[in-house]
Each structure stands twice: as structure tokens, then as C-alpha cells.
């Protein structure tokens, strides 16, 4: 099918999804969950094809693991859809309701965003997850997954379409680009006539490609060069626990801590304690001169301050005060998650107000920047841009609004 | 100054503007209003240079009129800044405040968007207006105005910078690109490192250029192919008044009506009444066959349905029912403003729900889609996209939010 045709079919589904009730949408999600499990043989067989091809091409073990589906993982995908069905539907919510001087009755009402394009890598679970979130909010979705997962994605998409058809819904509520060439991806990113929003999910490289090539509005997600600042008034034991958690609990995630900023007054007391704890996970420290006086470590270069390691490495910067910490963080961060460990209320307030990031923490781990932890019940990604949605994006981030206005013959004077 | 340097200076101003109080910002706005008037000789002299150059180049009278500044127009610009000072400051507002299961205290707080780029045509009043709105919301602004207005824009920018300096604020809160070449404009649209959002203001051509070439997130504003549907139950006198107002009150604006959709059952009663009224302004009608049976008029072509005339022309499409009207409108509209004239509550509800546009009206003129009419007190433009802001954009549209999170040592399990 040509892109033009895929775009048209998505647009045809749009008005139908737009007016579906919550009950109608939930029925599809539950049916899809049921079918993912009952049709799992087919999905697993398709995944096996992708796995074999991956192994032949010498895909790395980490990537192969992300690609692999098992009964448990399919059960997890089904459970994800059931959880989305349980969430309230934001569409139709009246956000505001007022009568300005002209006497018109204006209601600001939540509506679906439109047709959503998702570009992602070889993670077949994203296929079901992205469909669930987009469908719950009344948005047709066009998926462009990695070519390594094409058979898995096709099998999952077919099962989801079966659920749509069984419930009398247009199957084009979900479509998958089966042509995974770069040319088609490039054309997809310029399909403004049919796609309202593009959300890339994956590595920094993928996201940069989409931002640089798309003419469709993009929601940028992902990269996190997150800092923790240990103030001179910090509870040092708390600081050790939080840095250890934020650095080592999961190293490959965007809300992991990549850089420690430490106040000069406590560096000699704090850094040896921290270094000892981080030794448990063999974390490599790279510090400035002042940090190296407190604990032996590699010298940090300018490049370290701006690097998201996604590895057992932590950079260490020494500062004289909270102002210098804020300036350093605002210079090198990626607008994701930043924390201060302090017992000083004034420093806490200053840090909260002046650090420019989606999530700013006092005395807690940066790892909490997550749709589930925030209580959103679901997450389509974590936005690092300021337009539309910032930070963890739940269902509401997949909606827009319209103004419904009722008059009695008013004309403008 | 190079773009790189302009970008850096804007970023330097950002943290200072971010934490300014409403009172501090209002003081600058009032000072700027005062200086625009006291320095008007200088501004008028610069404008005279632009006017002379425009006349020499044979600029059209309409464009020359938009370019021209007078004492009255400068007073209007100053008054606009005073009105912005009077508006509440959305920055700092706590939008939500909750404690999820992990016990963290999360507050969603409004913050400035960041550095805003505005690209516009030869309308010098936009210079003061855009500065006022961006500054009130704590955002540094970089302006790229049309080359025809360069002397006027420079003079206005200098006066605004004088006000900033007088109040101890960084003058780089407003910067103007003095190099108005296409190459510089193209590079400006890719300055992602320094510019957070780009807002084009002007013709459909200008907006399309920005959307197609910018890698910075864009808020698309402007084009409006607005329809009014006259239902079979419409109060025909009300319908005549509303269509007359929406078509003729100001023809060059995006919320003017460009197309009439009329129910077949009332076309013979309604179209002659309307045609007679529209004769007062010599409006040309272009209709389908059924419309031409009711009133003599030019035959409409397929192109007419999709055209924003911005002129004394109205296309007329006949439909059998409200469903057909909605389908026609959703096919050809630009997501701006659409109206139904009806006495049938069910048709009104259906139209409100199913028409996909920023503003959908029952029994009122499309001309009300406007930040002032909506009671926002100001307007930076009317968004026709669904991301971030839709419809009239007031001060809130120039803000983002952050999450300020307070814990007591929480780590993620």
C-alpha cells in the first residue's frame, strides 16, 4: 500500500474514532488483549523469524533480547492493554466553560489529537502499547517499526486489526508501514496532509533524525543527561542512597543519573562514602580536580559534562554554591530530570524554580520521572521539549482541545 | 551579530526573565509604552525611510498601508503594551498538586516556554506586540521581520531595549535580526540549540515556508477556510445576518467566512434573501448546480471548495443533510472556525462534536475566533494545529510547565 493510501485510510478512521464512547473503545482493547494471548502461537512464530534473521546478521545480545517475544512478554502486552482499558478516557472532558462579554457560551473540550505517527526501533511490544494508548484517546495510529522486527510487528498488527474488526471498528485505526526502507521513512516524515503528530521512540540518533527531517510536528522524547546536586546542608546518608539508586538501579534509562554535582564544603566528607557504595557496582567516576583531591578517579574532560553515558559511569563536578550548581546544570542538562539533596529550604526553593527541566526534585531519586510513578497509569514517552507536553506523557498528552461555542445570533460589530 | 551570538544572548537572558516577578515585568512594559510615545519622532523618521523605499519599489497600496506608522498607530502600540501589563501573569500558577503512591509531592507549575522566534512580514506593529506578549510570560524573543520594514523595526526594537535597560533588565530580552536575507532566515529556522519555539505570523506562503523548513517546533497559525452551514431548521433571517457579517465585516482575516453550505430544503427560500443582502457589498457567489437553480451565480469548481478567498467572494455548496455538511466541511476546512445555523438541538450537538476545527459555532458568526473576543485580553495568533495550543492563543499559550517534586529521601525500588 502506498503512503498516500495509508494516510487516506487513517484519515477515514479518524471521524469514527473521534466519536466513539469510552465503553466502545474499551471493548476493543479487551478483545485485543484476549486475541494477543489466544493467537500467540502465530506471533511467536513470526518473532522466531525475526530472531533468526537477527542472529544471522550478528545483532548484539542486548538488541536480540529486546526483540525477543515469549509467552510471558505477550501476556505482559495483553495486561498493558487491559490496564489502559481501566483508565478514564480524557476525551470529552470540559476543561473550561465561560461566557465572555459577547454573550457566547464557550466550552473548551478535550478531543483526540488526530492521526499519530510513531517511529520506533526493534521493540515489538511498542506495537501493542502505542496502539492501546492512541486508540484509547481516539487517535488512529500509523506505526513505522524497525525492519529487524517486521514479522513480529506484522503479526501483532494483524491480531489488533482482528480485534477492531470483531468489534465493528475500522481496522485502519492501526496501520503498520511494511516497507521499512529509509526512503519511505523519509517520505512518511513529510506526510503532513495525513499525519498530525509524529512521536519517535528510541535512541538519541533516531530522535535526532526525526527532529531534523520531519515537517510534521514532533514530540521529542528521550535523552536525559540528569544531574544530582549534593548541597552543603545535605543529609549525606540520604545523598549516598539517592545517587546510588539513580545511577545504578537501571543504567540504560533516560532518568538515570549521569552526573553528580557536589558542594566543595562537603566533598571530602561525601565523596569517599559515595565512592565506597558505588564500588558495589563498579561504577567509574570521572571528576574535576577538586573531586579528585577527595577520591582518586579519572579526570573528567569537557565532553564528560555533556555525556549521557547510559553506563556504569558518573561524572563529578565540584561547585562553590547552589547558584553555581544551577548554572552548571542549566548549561549541560537535556531538560529531563534534575535533583538537589539539601536540608536548606531556601536552596531547595531556588533549585526548584531556577533549574530548567521537565522534572526537578528535592531529596528524591531522578528515577521517578515516569508516567506510572506519576500516577498517570500509562506512558507514551517522556517529553524533553517544552511545546505541548513536558515530562512523562500519559493519555492526556495524546489529546488536543476544541472550542464548542453556542450563541443566539451574535455577529461581530 | 552572528546568529550564534544572537542565540547565545537570548539564552543568557532566559534564566533572568524566568524568575522575574509580575511587578518587575509590568514595570518594563509600562516604561516601553512611555518611551514608544516619547521617542515617536525617531520611529516615524525610520518608518518614513521604509515607506519611501517601498514606494520606489512599487509596493502595493494595501501593503504600504500596513507598513505605515502614524502618531495614532504608535499610540495604539503603546496602549497594547499597557493592556498586556494589566493582564495576570500565568507564570508560577500551580496547575495541579498531588501525591502519588510513592509519597512524592508533585506540583505541576506553569513556566515560560523558553526563547521564542517570531517570523513576520512588513507589519512594524507586530514588533512591539510580540515583545509585549513574550516578555510578560518571561520569554526572550528573537524577531525576524520583513525586510521592507527593517528601519521601522530597528527603531522600535531600540526603544524597547531602552526600556529594558532603564529597568535593569537584559536588553537581549528582545533582539531583531537585521540581516533579512533568505539564507539567514533559513539558518534561523534551524537554530534548535537556542530557539525553543518558532511562531510565523503572516500569509499562508510565509507559514508554509516556515513549516517546511524549520527543525524547531513551530506553532502554525493563520489560514482559515471557514464555512457556515445553514440547516433546514435555521432561522433564515439570523442566517442572513450571520453570513453577511462573517463574509463582509472584514474580508482579509482568517476567521472570515469563505464558503456557505446550505441544506437543499431551504436553498430556494434562503439563497435569494442572502444574495440580495450580499449585493450591498457586491459579493460574488460561486455555487454548485443546485445553488445556481435558486439564484444565478458563477459555477463553482473543485478548486473553489478549498480556497480561502480573503475577498468579496463566497462559494455555495448544497447538501442533503447535516451529515453531508459535516463531511464536506471536514474535507475542505483548515481547522479554523466553522458554524451551523440551526434551531435543531440534535443537529447542533452533532455539528459541535463531529466538525474538526479549533472553534465550532452554533448560531454565531465565525468572526468571534479571536483572543480578545474570547476574553484572553491578548492574542499572539490563532493556532490551526492541534499540538500545544489550538485556536486563539493568549498568554497561556506562551507557557509550558515543569514538575516540582519534593521527597524525603525516596529511591525507586
H/E run at residue B259:
strand B257-263
Question: What is the average pLDDT score of chain B?
Answer: 96
Enumerate residues 6+ apart whose C-beta is below 8 A from A289.
A299, A318
To the nearest whole angstrom, how far is the Cα of A164 from the nearest Cα of chain B?
21
Question: pLDDT of B365-385, one tens digit each?
Answer: 999 999 999 999 889 999 998
Question: pLDDT of A152-181, one tens digit each?
Answer: 999 999 999 999 999 999 999 999 999 989
Contact A353 B19 (CB under 8 A): yes
Nearest chain A Cα to B361, which residue?
A405
Q: Which residues pair with B206 in a beta bridge?
A: none
Q: What is the pLDDT of residue B86?
A: 97
To the nearest whole angstrom, how far is the Cα of A114 from the nearest Cα of chain B?
8
Q: What is the pLDDT of residue A300?
A: 98
To the nearest whole angstrom, how far is the Cα of A320 from the nearest Cα of chain B?
19
Contact B412 A101 (CB under 8 A): no
Q: What is the pLDDT of residue A393?
A: 95
Q: What is the pLDDT of residue B378?
A: 85
Q: Which of A211, A246, A354 sits opposite B19 (nearest CB)?
A: A354
Preferred mutation among A138, A370, A384, A385 to probe B, highest tally of B CBs within 10 A: A385
Please answer whether residues B222 and B383 qualify as being in contact, where contact means their C-beta atoms are separated by less than 8 angstroms: no
Q: Which of B348, B365, B405 sits opposite A364 (nearest CB)?
A: B405
| Other beta carbons within 10 Å of A336 | 26
Nearest chain A Cα to B343, which residue?
A408
Q: What is the pLDDT of residue B400?
A: 97
To the nearest whole angstrom, how far is the Cα of B302 from the nearest Cα of chain A?
18
Q: Which residues pair with A120 in a beta bridge?
A: A201
Contact B15 A353 (CB under 8 A): no
Predicted confidence (pLDDT) at residue A378 exceeds the cutoff of 90: no
Predicted confidence (pLDDT) at residue A222 exceeds the cutoff of 80: no
Contacts of A19 in chain B (CB under 8 A): 353-354
Contact B405 A368 (CB under 8 A): yes
Q: What is the pLDDT of residue A194?
A: 95
E strands in B40-104: 94-98
Nearest chain A Cα to B209, which residue?
A215
Name the band, by pLDDT with cuts 50, 70 and 90, for residue B314: very high
Cell of A291: 573531586
Contacts of B196 in chain A (CB under 8 A): 385-387
Percent of chain A with pLDDT over 70: 100
Question: pLDDT of B87-139, one tens digit each?
Answer: 999 999 999 999 999 999 999 999 999 999 999 988 899 999 999 999 999 99
Closest CA to B360 of B344, B341, B377, B378: B341
Contact A403 B365 (CB under 8 A): no
Closest CA to A397 of A130, A209, A164, A195: A130
Contact B387 A217 (CB under 8 A): yes
Q: Which of A364, A387, A409 sits opposite B388 (nearest CB)?
A: A387
Using DSSP's 3-state secondary structure scheme, residue A140 falls into coil
Going from the C-alpha of A348 to that of each of A131, A136, A149, B100, the distances in angstroms are 40, 38, 46, 21
Contacts of B244 in chain A (CB under 8 A): 411
Question: What are the domain boundaries of chain A?
Answer: 3-220+389-406, 226-368
To the nearest whole angstrom, how far is the Cα of B52 from the nearest Cα of chain A?
35
To the nearest whole angstrom, how far is the Cα of A176 from the nearest Cα of chain B?
23
Name the band, by pLDDT with cuts 50, 70 and 90, for residue A246: very high
Q: Which of A98, A246, A369 sits opposite B375 (nearest CB)?
A: A98
Q: What is the pLDDT of residue B153?
A: 97
Cell of B318: 448544497
| Other beta carbons within 10 Å of B400 | 24
Nearest chain A Cα to B190, which residue?
A212
Contact A411 B19 (CB under 8 A): no
| Other beta carbons within 10 Å of B277 | 16
Question: pLDDT of A66-115, one tens digit each?
Answer: 899 999 999 999 999 999 999 999 999 999 999 999 999 999 999 999 99
Contact B402 A359 (CB under 8 A): yes
Preferred mutation among B97, B402, B406 to probe A, highest tally of A CBs within 10 A: B402
H/E run at residue A374:
none
Q: Which of A197, A363, A374 sits opposite B106 (nearest CB)?
A: A374
Pick the CATH number of B226-368 from 3.30.365.10, 3.40.50.720, 2.20.25.240, 3.40.309.10: 3.40.309.10
As a whole number of angstroms, the distance between CA B231 and CA B228 comes to 9
Contact B354 A411 (CB under 8 A): no
Residue given cell 530548567 in the structure block: A356
Q: What is the pLDDT of residue B1?
A: 82
Contacts of A362 in chain B (CB under 8 A): 405-407
Comparing A37-51, A177-191, B232-246, the range with the smallest average pLDDT is: A177-191
Contacts of B386 in chain A (CB under 8 A): 113-114, 196-197, 400
Helices (H) and strands (E) in chain B, counts: 15, 16
Q: What is the pLDDT of residue B122?
A: 83
Preferred mutation among B139, B355, B403, B406 to probe A, highest tally of A CBs within 10 A: B403
Contacts of B91 in chain A (CB under 8 A): none
Q: What is the pLDDT of residue A221?
A: 86
Predicted confidence (pLDDT) at residue B202 exceeds the cutoff of 90: no
Question: pLDDT of A293-306, one tens digit each?
Answer: 999 999 999 999 99
Contacts of B217 in chain A (CB under 8 A): 217-218, 220, 385, 387
Q: Which of A360, A385, A388 sits opposite B405 (nearest CB)?
A: A360
Contact B411 A367 (CB under 8 A): yes
Contact A411 B241 (CB under 8 A): yes
Enumerate residues 6+ apart whose C-beta is below 8 A from A99.
A105, A106
Q: How many CB pairs under 8 A join A and B?
A: 213
To the nearest whole angstrom, how far is the Cα of B15 from the nearest Cα of chain A?
7
As a whole number of angstroms, the distance between CA A173 and CA A387 comes to 26
Q: For A255, how many CA atoms within 13 A lie in the half-sphere containing its CB? A: 26
More confident site: B204 or A94 = A94
Q: What is the pLDDT of residue A202?
A: 85
To the nearest whole angstrom, how far is the Cα of B99 from the nearest Cα of chain A?
8
Q: What is the pLDDT of residue B394?
A: 94
As a whole number of angstroms, the distance between CA B403 and CA B413 comes to 21
Q: Which of A106, A375, A387 sits opposite B387 (nearest CB)?
A: A387
Q: Which of A352, A365, A374 sits opposite B404 (nearest CB)?
A: A352
Q: What is the pLDDT of residue B220?
A: 87
Contact B361 A387 (CB under 8 A): no
Q: Which of B215, B354, B391 sits opposite A15 (nearest CB)?
A: B354
The CATH T-level fold of domain A3-220+389-406 is Aldehyde Dehydrogenase; Chain A, domain 1 (3.40.605)
To the nearest whole angstrom, how far is the Cα of A344 from the nearest Cα of chain B?
13
pTM given for the model = 0.92
Q: Which of B220, B238, B390 sits opposite A409 (nearest CB)?
A: B238
Q: Which of A211, A368, A410 sits opposite B102 (nearest CB)?
A: A368
Nearest chain B Cα to A189, which residue?
B212
CA B331-B336-B337 angle, to 5 degrees, is 95
Q: Which of B196, B242, B244 sits opposite A386 (nearest CB)?
A: B196
To the nearest whole angstrom, how far is the Cα of B327 from the nearest Cα of chain A?
9
Q: What is the pLDDT of residue B203?
A: 84
CA A411-A400-A154 angle, to 5 degrees, is 140
Contacts of B362 in chain A (CB under 8 A): 405-407
Helix, strand and coil percent figures for chain A, each rounded to 5: 45, 20, 35
Please answer whether residues A90 and A136 qualify as being in contact, where contact means their C-beta atoms are separated by less than 8 angstroms: no
Residue given cell 510487528 in the structure block: A153
Name the band, by pLDDT with cuts 50, 70 and 90, for residue B252: confident
Amino acid at each position: 500500500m502506498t503512503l498516500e493510501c495509508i494516510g487516506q485510510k487513517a484519515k477515514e478512521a479518524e471521524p469514527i474514532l473521534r466519536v466513539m464512547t469510552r465503553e466502545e473503545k474499551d471493548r476493543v482493547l479487551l478483545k485485543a488483549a484476549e486475541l494477543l494471548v489466544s493467537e500467540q502461537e502465530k506471533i511467536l512464530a513470526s518473532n522466531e523469524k525475526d530472531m533468526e534473521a537477527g542472529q544471522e546478521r550478528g545483532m548484539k545480545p542486548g538488541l536480540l533480547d529486546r526483540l525477543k517475544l515469549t509467552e510471558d512478554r505477550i501476556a505482559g502486552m495483553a495486561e498493558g492493554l487491559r490496564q489502559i482499558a481501566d483508565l478514564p478516557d480524557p476525551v470529552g472532558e470540559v476543561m473550561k466553560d465561560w461566557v465572555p462579554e459577547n454573550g457566547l457560551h464557550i466550552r473548551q473540550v478535550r478531543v483526540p489529537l488526530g492521526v499519530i505517527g510513531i517511529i520506533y526501533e526493534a521493540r515489538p511490544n511498542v506495537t501493542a502499547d502505542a496502539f492501546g494508548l492512541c486508540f484509547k484517546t481516539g487517535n488512529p495510529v500509523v506505526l513505522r517499526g524497525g525492519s529487524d522486527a517486521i514479522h513480529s510487528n506484522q503479526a501483532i498488527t494483524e491480531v489488533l486489526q482482528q480485534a477492531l474488526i470483531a468489534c465493528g471498528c475500522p481496522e485502519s485505526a492501526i496501520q503498520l508501514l511494511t516497507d521499512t526502507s529509509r526512503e519511505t521513512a523519509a517520505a512518511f516524515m513529510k506526510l503532513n496532509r495525513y499525519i498530525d503528530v509524529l512521536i519517535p521512540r528510541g535512541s538519541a540518533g533516531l530522535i535526532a533524525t526525526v527532529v531534523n527531517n520531519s515537517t510534521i510536528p514532533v514530540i521529542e522524547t528521550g535523552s536525559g543527561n540528569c544531574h544530582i546536586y549534593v548541597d552543603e546542608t545535605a543529609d549525606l546518608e540520604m545523598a549516598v542512597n539517592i545517587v546510588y539508586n539513580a545511577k545504578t538501579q537501571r543504567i540504560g534509562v533516560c532518568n538515570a543519573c549521569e552526573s553528580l554535582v557536589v558542594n566543595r564544603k562537603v566533598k571530602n566528607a561525601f565523596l569517599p562514602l559515595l565512592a565506597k557504595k558505588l564500588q558495589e557496582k563498579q561504577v567509574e567516576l570521572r571528576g574535576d580536580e577538586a573531586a579528585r583531591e577527595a577520591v582518586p578517579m579519572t579526570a573528567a574532560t569537557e565532553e564528560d559534562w555533556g555525556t549521557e553515558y547510559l553506563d556504569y559511569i558518573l561524572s563529578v563536578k565540584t561547585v562553590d554554591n547552589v547558584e553555581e550548581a544551577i548554572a552548571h546544570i542549566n548549561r549541560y542538562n537535556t531538560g529531563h530530570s534534575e535533583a538537589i539533596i539539601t536540608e536548606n529550604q531556601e536552596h531547595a526553593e531556588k533549585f526548584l524554580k531556577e533549574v530548567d527541566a521537565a522534572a526537578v526534585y528535592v531529596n528524591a531519586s531522578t528515577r521517578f520521572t515516569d508516567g506510572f510513578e506519576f500516577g498517570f497509569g500509562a506512558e507514551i514517552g517522556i517529553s524533553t521539549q517544552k511545546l505541548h507536553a513536558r515530562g512523562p506523557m500519559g493519555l492526556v498528552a495524546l489529546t488536543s482541545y476544541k472550542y464548542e461555542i453556542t450563541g443566539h445570533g451574535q455577529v461581530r460589530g
